[in-house]
Structure 1
Amino acid sequence: MILTITLNPAVDISYKLEHFFLDTVNRVDHVSKTAGGKGLNVARVLQLLDEDVAASGFLGGSLGGFIRTQIESLGIQDFFVQIADETRNCIAVIHEGKQTEILESGPVIVDKEAMLFLEKFTDYVHLADIVTLSGSLPKGLTADFYVEMVKISTQNGAMVLLDSNGALLDAILTSSYKPYFIKPNEQELADLVGEQALDETQIMATLALSLFADIYWIVVTLGADGAIVKQGDTFYRARAPKIEAINPVGSGDSVVAGFAAGLARGLMDEDLIKFGLSMGVLNAMEEKTGHINVEKVEWAVEQMQVEKIKG
């Protein structure tokens, strides 16, 4: 089983308007409401790939109930922990080729709820071969919470695929327990080492630092330009096929899902890279976030170009 973690999920509400006017009434006909959060995007793609997948994190209130209903309808196992506070909304107003977002900060997790989650998580990890950790923390938790989850996972033999940035990623990289896989984009990697930007040569030099030495898979995504991938001491350059991107939001989450599914299926080396990155391409070709057309998987994998450049 693959266990996906979304500690601060949301109900994602999208309003599509031809024009957006300030300080007056805007009426909207095109509305969508979905279970949102990076880990839930991962879970949806895994379900579409017909993987055995469960989702966990914190849910509360009526919005939490909405998310439970949605994931149950998709066939994703519900391992979420109930909290007293209300799950958040995240609103996107899409207008005139622009997107204006209003993001609630979310619930406050109290100590009793945090301890209950770690107890449940320890039980769930025994059922999982792979754990994905995605996104930010809700209020009330510190970066050490992610560190503890990586520790519990690795001590129980589960591979951890981590998709986070900033202080959370730094806390993991400087801890004693390491994830098996991380997926920073090029800007997140630059921010981590205090640089404005990194070219491909600098990305490779950065990944060779001792900070990353104990992480077997590092995938630095470059948007439409593909990725630079480090597997052990070997570097690969991946180039994605040219596509007409409809909605690239969630493509990074889809890449995490692709690598999780590929690892679960025993894919290795270049085959795993092609499969994992192809899910990001397929997500960008769809209007829905965290969604792929499974009938195009074979095409995308065949179009993905991967070459070994060092090691």
Structure 2
Amino acid sequence: MHSRTLRADVLLFVTAAIWGLAFVAQRVGMDHVGPLTFNGIRFALGALALVPLILSLEKKRGFVTENADKKRMAVGGGLLGIALFAGASLQQIGLAGPQLAELGLEASTAGKAGFITGLYVVFVPIFGLALAQRPGWGTWLGAGMAVIGMYLLSVTADLTISFGDLLILIGALFWAGHVLLIGKLSPGMDAVDAIKLSTIQFAACAVLSLIGAVITEEITLPGVMGAAPAIAYGGLMSVGVAYTLQVIAQRDAQPAHAAIILSLEAVFAALGGWLMLGEVLSVRALIGCGLMLTGMVLSQLKP
């Protein structure tokens, strides 16, 4: 294997691990603050973390973005921020154990949330039908396996699904829409503009989340301080570091390699939930996870 390709694969592996373990941080953070407060501060930190990278790349690039491109980036970043806000809010509320327990509802676990969120890679090519794209056999086979896996993982013997799992499943639809929107906005952008676009969407998501938090949640300094390590990981590592690694790695990565390696995010979420939170998946759930992971990979390899 070419050394640059190998380096890219290693960086993508680290990215998947950081993203997967972020589900643990998201679950832990809910012991101290509300879901919108967590996301608001997390995405604000993530946006700020990318500013030094943008300034550094701008200096190397040496030309100024035209006003028309700035307007497109602002509008596009705002739309992406709305999609990101919807997906991230549903995901975070689905993981909010203490808050949902007060309402008599069951939250998802870090491991289950990782696999259910990963279904967006199956939804993307299926949604592409509306854009006159024609998915291949791999997409349909992968989707079928993912649906069976989802049933085994989340649907109980009496055909019920936890409220948290359901919210995260709906959130995966928004993640898929988010990916398709990026596909419409990013062609022709260089690495600098791509990172700028992401910074705008993170900032927009942060503003929307904080507005929602002020209206619906109680924000306290002790709560924020208690959640600080989890928020820092979710913002600086999951957004700032992992996104930067992904941008660097995907310049040299083979698309098939990237798809398979990034799908491991769900596996790291399950491992992190088991090692750090004591979450245990039943044999039925583990089989479901295996089918979902296989379906995700198939839908990417033969789209």
What TM-score results when the alignment is normalised by the length of structure 2? 0.25
Normalized per residue, the structure richer in strand is: 1
What TM-score results when the alignment is normalised by the length of structure 1? 0.25
Normalized per residue, the structure richer in helix is: 2
Higher relative contact order (CA 8 A, sep 6+): 2
